[in-house]
Amino acid sequence: MSEHFDSYDASYGEVVEGSIRFSGLQHDFFLAAKADLLRRLVGERCLRQGGADVRGLDVGCGVGALHPYLDGAFDRLDGCDVSQKSLARARRDNPHITYTACTTDRLPYQDGAFDLAFASCVVHHVPPASRPNFFHEMRRVLRQGGVACIIEHNPYNPLTRIAVFRCPFDEDAVLLGAGEAARLLRDAGFRYIRSEHFLLLPSARPFARKVERALAALPLGAQYACVAYA
C-alpha cells in the first residue's frame, strides 16, 4: 500500500481535483466540511481533562491536506501514514504537526495517548480482513472517554461512486457503509456509536449546513462520519 501512495505524493491534490471536477466543486470545499465536523466534535465533547491539552491523531493522514483546515482545533495534532513520501510532503507543508511513519499493523503510539483519533477516507483502502485490527488500534491509542471518528465515502450516493471510480489511487477501494463502520467500532469495544451523513448540498452556507444536519440520519450525503467513544 505504501508504494501505491508514494507515487502520488506530489500530485495528490491534482488527482483529487480531477476525480471530482464533474461536481463543479473544489477539493477545498470537502476538506473544510470535514474540518468543521471535527471541530464540532471537539467542541461538543468535553475532551479537556483538568486543563490538559487536547491531543488529536489523524490515522492515515497522507500528505496532510486536511491539517491547515484544523488549525487551532487541537492543542496538539499528530499524523501517521504508511507512505514515507507522503509524510515528507506533509512535514514540509505543516511544520507544526508531528508526523510518524506507520510501518507495521500497530500504530506507533502508546496506549491512551490521544483524546480524539480520526481516519478520513482511509478505511476503504484497508483490506476487509485487516479492518478489525485497524479499529482495535484506534481504540488502544485513545484514553478512556476519548472519541473516534471514521469519515468515509457513502457507497449509496451515486456521485460518490463516480468520484471513486475516476480516482486512480482509489482503484483498490472497497467501500463500506455507515452500518458496517458502526459494527467494526462496536466489535473493537467502542460505545455510544452514532452516524451522520454530510456533503449533501453544494454550499457551505449556515442554512445549507443546518439542512444537512436535519437530514444526517438518511444515507444521502456524499460522505458520512461514524463517531464513537472509548
DSSP sequence for 27-50: HHHHHHHHHHHHHHHHHHS----T
pLDDT 10s digit of each residue in the chain, 230 long?
Answer: 555 555 555 556 575 665 666 566 678 889 999 999 999 999 877 666 666 689 999 999 999 999 999 999 999 999 999 999 999 999 999 999 999 999 999 999 999 999 999 999 999 999 999 999 999 999 999 999 999 999 999 999 998 898 888 887 688 899 999 999 999 999 999 999 999 999 988 888 888 888 888 989 999 999 999 999 99
Where are the domains positioned within the chain? 2-229
Q: Can you read off the three cell numbers belonging to residue 117?
A: 483519533
Q: What is the pTM of this model?
A: 0.91
Rounded Cα distance between 150 and 108, Å, is 19
Rounded Cα distance between 68 and 72, Å, is 9
**Residue 100, phi then psi, degrees to nearest 5:** -135, 135
CATH number at 2-229: 3.40.50.150
